[in-house]
Amino acid sequence: MNLTALLIALPLASSPLIYLVGRAFPAPRRQAEPVCRWLSVGIMLVLWALWTRAALALSAGEALTTALGLLALRIDGLSLLFAALVLSVSTLVLVFSSADAADRDGIEKYYAMLVTTTGALIGMVCARDLFNLWVWFELVVISSFLLVSFERERPAALDASIKYLTQSAVGSVLIVLGIAFVLAQTSSLALDNLQPGRLAPGLLAAGALLIVGFGIKSALVPLHTWLPDVYAEAPTRVTALLSGAVTVSGLIVLMRALMPLMSAAATWGLLLIGAGVINTLVGNLLAFHQPDFKRMLAYSSISHIGTILLGLGVSLYAHIPEAAQAGLFHLLTLGLMETLAFLGIAALRSKQSITLTDLRGLIYRAPLTGVALLLVLLSLAGLPPLAGFMSKWQVFAAGFISPDPAVRGAVIIIALNILLALGYYLPALMALCTPDAHAPQAKTPRLPLSMQLPLIILCGLIVLIGLLPDSVRWLTGAASAALLAGGRP
């Protein structure tokens, strides 16, 4: 079997296996957890090995394609970048979960779904035609829905999962409509089938439908309403996966799906830039008064998605490859930062809703978690030399290459939003560092190693990428090249 097929088939095929192995244990299945966990970790490690081989093969210039009947898949630079993000996030979430979810009932389902989601996400960015893209997209929605609703005894969690499913379903419908429009107009669904010349109104409408359909997944304002509810109510480690990989995947498939319609690139670019400005503004303003820390982070991630949209939009609108690269760079760092933020909150192991008061003096009570949250907030706020600053700054710098006043205006507005964002990051930072006079200063018990490790790795990555931004350039560069090359290999 070739590399591409293996990278995608392995998680999908092994996920039922994990489930079945877990079920083989007699109830209450306490012994099932380590078996399922190590099985999943083993699969992740194999996937990493496959990914490394794929990266080497790709850099050697090999074409990594596979076709199973109508199902055509190809690994290109963009798939490689996103697969790296997905694998990082899901591996770390998996390792982290082993201590957090150990005493839960039905843990075998959790691990099985985590692995399925990983496979589906990788498959989604490798799809080479619109219909398959949609099928993968649905698989992601369903598997992640099961994860969101994992703590089904909490009504709020169920409520959130219903919202997630319903709005994703609406998105699906719109995507199918969009695909239908494309098929009706061009009688082809291949992503490589670039439509020349000016687009017919039907194709323009198709593009709009695709933008809105995938935009729901990646929380374009005003399609974002599911995101704060789900981020706040889903199990926090699942939120880490959602925010780190699933939400941003919408942006990548959106760019892919627009590929056949690239002769109207300027239109899509302008729309994305506009969406970026609105996302940043609305996300920041709504983050201000959130009493719940997770909701605040949810809105802040909406504003960060605005920055990615700016980078991607500028690359389409003004034909600036650096902007695509910077946008994808920010996508990568945002994924890592969000994962760290939500894993940090999960490490508190407190009640579902966290307020700033709960965070008071955290760096004294729980130094590792406190420092991790401190670092990620500083990075999200855009403090040099952390990763969040580097990627955001590169987006702005790439935007300023274009002399177009519309682009420059958008860059300036989004850059000024950093000040606005300080309005909610700073109180959180202060809470972390202010000793709590009322609560006893007793230290919380030490975290198990399986929780410490993901936090430390992510902190290290955020610092390292900030200091050496060029260390991931080979990934983002290849990804932006693949993105802008369209279907042509």
Partner 1 sequence: MFGLVPLILLFPTLGAGLNFVVGRRLPAGMIGCGAAVLAFGSALLQFSALLVQPAGTVIPLFTWIEVAGLHVDWALRVDTLSVTMMLVVTGVGALIHLYAVGYMRGDERYARFFAYLNLFLVAMLILVAADNFLMLFVGWEGVGLCSFLLIGFWFDKPNGEGWRNSSAARKAFIINRVGDAGFILALLIIGTTCGSFDFNVVFGGSHFLAGDPLVVALTLLLLLSAAAKSAQIPLFVWLPDAMAGPTPVSALIHAATMVTAGVYLITRAHGLFELAPLTQEIIVAVGALTALIAASAAIAQYDIKRVLAYSTISQLGFMMVAVGLGAYTAAIFHLVIHAFFKALLFLAAGSVVHALGHGGDMRMMGGLRGRMPLTFATYTVGALSLAGIPPLAAFFSKDEILSAAWTSHPVIGLLLLGAAGLTAFYVGRQLFIVFFREARSQPAARAHESPPLLTIPLIGLAGLAAMGGVLNWPGQGALGAWLGHTLGEFSEGTFMPAIALLSVGVSGIGLTLAYVIYGRQPLPASRCDPLAGRFFDVLTRGWGLNDFYERVLMRGFDGFGAWLKQADETTFAGLEAGAAHSTERTTALMEQTETHQLNWNIAAILGGLTLVLILSLWLGGR
- Find the shortest distance in angstroms from Cβ 387 to partner 1: 22
How far from chain centre, in Å, is Cα 231? Answer: 12
Three-state DSSP class for 142?
Answer: helix
Token couple for 485: 């090359």
Phi, then psi, of 67 in degrees rounded to 5: -140, 125
Q: From the CB of 467, what's the least distance to partner 1, in Å? A: 17
> Amino acid identity, residue 290?
Q
Task: Give the shortest CB-198-to-partner 1 separation in angstroms.
Answer: 8
In the complex, least distance from residue 209 CB atom to partner 1, rounded to whole angstroms: 7
Which token pair is 106?
A: 């039905």
What's the gap between Cα 272 and its chain centre?
18
Going from the C-alpha of 165 to that of each of 141, 147, 155, 158, 216, the distances in angstroms are: 7, 12, 15, 10, 11
Q: Are the beta carbons of 19 and 1 closer than 8 angstroms?
A: no
Window 393-422: residues binding partner 1 (CB under 8 A): 420
Per CB under 8 A, 473 contacts partner 1 = no
* Window contacting partner 1 (CB under 8 A); options: 13-21, 100-108, 245-253, 262-270: 262-270
Q: Does 469 bind partner 1 (CB under 8 A)?
A: no
Q: What is the dihedral of CA 408, 409, 412, 413, to 10 degrees?
A: -150
Q: CB of 313: closest distance to partner 1 in angstroms? A: 12
Binding mask 158-197 for partner 1 (x = CB under 8 A): ----xx--xx--xx--x-----------------------
Token code pair at residue 210: 């695709």
Distance separating alpha carbons of residues 406 and 324, to the nearest angstrom? 17
Nearer to partner 1, 291 or 460 (CB): 291
**Toward partner 1, which CB reaches closer, 83 or 174?**
174
Q: How far is the CB of 289 from partner 1 (least distance, A)?
A: 6
Could you tell me the two tokens for 204?
């323009």
Rounded to the nearest whole angstrom, what is the least distance from the CB of residue 212 to partner 1 in the complex?
5
- Bridge partners of 387, per DSSP, are none
- Out of 3, 87, 179, 220, name the contact with partner 1 by CB under 8 A: 220
Give yes or no for a contact between 185 and 206, defined as CB atoms under 8 angstroms apart.
yes
Please pick, from the candidates 120, 212, 341, 348, the single residue that binds partner 1 as defined by CB under 8 A. Answer: 212
Per DSSP, the three-state class of 73 is: strand
CB of 394 to partner 1, least distance (A): 16
Q: Within positions 226 to 245, which residues make up the interface with partner 1, using CB under 8 A?
A: 226, 228-229
Candidate list 124, 255, 262, 270; residue touching partner 1; CB under 8 A: 270
Distances (CA, A) of 120 to 21, 83, 87, 246, 365: 21, 11, 12, 10, 39
Q: Quick one: 423 or 435, whose CB is closer to partner 1? A: 423
In the complex, which residues of this chain contact partner 1 (CB under 8 A)?
Answer: 162-163, 166-167, 170-171, 174, 198-199, 201, 204-205, 207-209, 211-212, 215-216, 220-223, 225-226, 228-229, 264, 266-268, 270-271, 274, 282, 285-286, 288-289, 420, 423
